[in-house]
Amino acid sequence: MISIPICHNRGDKTLITVSMTLLLAGDIGGTKTILRLVDGTEIVKDSQTQERLKTLYESRYLSGDYPDLVPIVKQFLQEAQEQLGENLHPEKACFAIAGPVVHQTAKLTNLPWHLDAQYLGSELAISQVTLINDFEAVGYGVTGLPESDLLVLQKGQHQADSPIGVIGAGTGLGQCFVTPLVNGIKVYPCEGGHTDFAPRYELEFQLMKYLLAKHSIDRISVERVVSGPGIIAIYQFLRDTATQRWRDRNMATESPEISDIVKEWEHQIGLTEVTVDPAAAISQAALEKRDHLSEQTMQLFVESYGAEAGNLALKLLPYGGLYIAGGIAPKILPLLETSEFMQAFSNKGRMKPILAKVPVYVVLNPQVGLIGAAVCAAIF
């Protein structure tokens, strides 16, 4: 018997007691698959005495090199056996999937794999296999992160019996929420990223009109703005409408460097392989303050991100904590630490005092989903 820590704040732990031995956790994406073998009979403590399941072996693979998940797992277990010098076979497994999971089946968004938990269990001789959405795994993972894996944006007033909210911008905009139970936690995935984008002032209304016309659609989801592709969309909007805003003294023109990257990306739209990443280039240029248009882009992005995080907080009242996860946040920490993000988060009129009580953290650990898959395997 061991106890798995569920950290509802940065000082206290609620322990889930479970009986188990060997666990297999996986983070399954269209590009790469990461597998981790965990010894559920041992716990280790870090410098902050944070108890964690002990990792025995971990490896990553290019997903596209395999016809499905089964041969990857078999290769992984063989490599683990050779590395550790003993035959280790997991009793439980949980795989976090980059795509929707319905009745324990999943089709990856960017890979022609169809995964079925029952089939995986049979082929791999694992008694219990669980499939969860990759952002649901993040929900499990954030609850056990130590302080060193978090950046505090707002201390708030923690309440251990309150919900936890998770939001994360990356390729899309993931959202989920966590509720405490008597014997642990329950994570609820949702599609909050596909709710309507809510402009707050004239420039954002112009952005919405621009996107409606550009894509010939009748609504704009918040994910079209708060995501990696959203960064590019904001940049294109500011670039393409510059002449209409010529009276704006803060208007910026394109720099040749970023212009070339964005134009190359626009030429590659629809191709199987894209060789440039404009969102990364724009955010880096903004961080280094070497391109004014990129700085304006990221300011609008950060404000929109903060506003949507505040919307989620109003819906959940997550006094157990609101976690900013996803691939973008750790890469733009200096921008999130400026006043724009939290001002947009809390700018909710009469509700501002309520949001001041919500603890807000940025998740720094890129393997939070893999940690969550291990936690999920242990619980279920």
Which domain CATH number covers 93? 3.30.420.40
In a shared domain, residues 139 and 214: no
In a shared domain, residues 121 and 199: no
> What is the pLDDT, as a whole number, of residue 2?
38
Rounded to whole angstroms, how far apart are CA atoms 225 and 104? 31
| Across 246-257, average pLDDT | 67
> What is the pLDDT, as a whole number, of residue 52?
63
Domain that holds residue 257: 193-363
169: in domain: no
> What is the pLDDT, as a whole number, of residue 345?
98
> What is the pLDDT, as a whole number, of residue 255?
87
Q: Is 349 annotated as a binding residue?
A: no
Tens of pLDDT, residues 156-184 = 999 999 999 999 999 899 999 999 988 78
Q: Is 12 annotated as a binding residue?
A: no
Q: How many CA atoms lie within 13 A of 23 on its CB side?
A: 28
Backbone angles phi, psi at 61, to 5 degrees: -140, 155
Which domain CATH number covers 294? 3.40.367.20
Tens of pLDDT, residues 279-308 = 999 999 999 999 999 999 999 999 999 999
8: in domain: no
In a shared domain, residues 284 and 347: yes
In a shared domain, residues 323 and 371: no
Q: Is 26 annotated as a binding residue?
A: yes
Q: Is 310 annotated as a binding residue?
A: no
Rounded to whole angstroms, how far apart are CA atoms 7 and 180? 11
In a shared domain, residues 68 and 200: no
Kindly tell me the sign of the dihedral angle through the C-alpha atoms of 143, 148, 149, 150. positive
> What is the pLDDT, as a whole number, of residue 14?
47
- Residues present in the chain in total: 380
In a shared domain, residues 205 and 344: yes
Q: How confident is the model at residue 243 (pLDDT cuts 50, 70, 90)?
A: low
> What is the pLDDT, as a whole number, of residue 118?
97
233 pLDDT above the threshold of 50 = yes
115: in domain: yes
Q: Is 28 annotated as a binding residue?
A: yes
> What is the pLDDT, as a whole number, of residue 246?
52
> What is the pLDDT, as a whole number, of residue 245?
58
Residue 275: alpha-carbon gap to chain centroid: 23
- Report the share of the chain in percent with pLDDT over 70: 89
Residues near 300 by beta carbon (within 8 Å), at least 6 away in sequence: 203, 204, 207, 234, 238
Q: What is the mean pLDDT of the chain?
A: 89
In a shared domain, residues 346 and 243: yes
Q: What is the pTM of this model?
A: 0.88
| Across 107-121, average pLDDT | 91
Residues near 55 by beta carbon (within 8 Å), at least 6 away in sequence: 36, 37, 38, 39
If one counts the domains in the chain, the total is 2
In a shared domain, residues 371 and 358: no
Residue 158: alpha-carbon gap to chain centroid: 22
Backbone angles phi, psi at 7, to 5 degrees: -90, 100
Residue 125: alpha-carbon gap to chain centroid: 31
